[in-house]
Amino acid sequence: MALRNSGLIALFDVDGTLTAPRKGVTPKMLKFMQDLRKVVNVGVVGGSDLVKISEQLGSTVINDYDYVFAENGLVAYKDGKLVGTQSLKKFLGEENIKVHNIRTKMVEVLREKFAHLKLTFSIGGQISFDGGNDHEIYESERTVGHTVTSPDDTLSQCTTLFLNKQA
């Protein structure tokens, strides 16, 4: 149980890592994640809101994982409780930014206003920007990233990394 109390987090993207893209989690993966959580802190991150993540991973998602980062981390839950970046979401509002150069200026303002949260803001697509994403987490010097090809590959790699060492 040393890893569980070490502060390390096994953080998983939802689509393509824990589920087939845009599909629900399998019973096999749910059982595996329950077993993994006994050994290490487990978090999930998804670009969707909590409702969509809950549809994919189960209605009790905020209680089944130690950390849940919805909307690319704009909304965060720890141990089933809402924490963190609510002021950021409130500041952003619900409108898309569609005017020339507004996104660049908005990202600059967000970086300055929320520097204390140590978030990464990126311009994405044609009309959006993100509060960081899984690639930036993967590339961080504080992360040991592992590329997976499917939920089955996730099971295989995590079994080798975490569960076989417990036997």
Is residue 152 marked as binding?
no
Distance of alpha carbon 107 from alpha carbon 50, whole angstroms = 23
Is residue 22 marked as binding?
yes
Establish how many alpha carbons lie within 13 A of residue 95's alpha carbon, considering only the half-sphere containing its beta carbon.
Answer: 7
153 as an active site residue: the answer is: no
Distance of alpha carbon 86 from alpha carbon 22, whole angstroms = 26
Is residue 49 marked as binding?
no
Cβ neighbours of residue 125 closer than 8 Å, sequence gap 6 or more: none
Helices in the chain by DSSP H: which ranges?
Answer: 27-37, 50-57, 61-64, 86-92, 102-113, 134-139, 151-158
Annotated catalytic residue, options 13, 66, 130, 134: 13
Sequence ranges of the binding site for alpha-D-mannose 1-phosphate: 22
Which residues contribute to the annotated binding site for Mg(2+)? 13, 15
Active site residue ranges: 13, 15
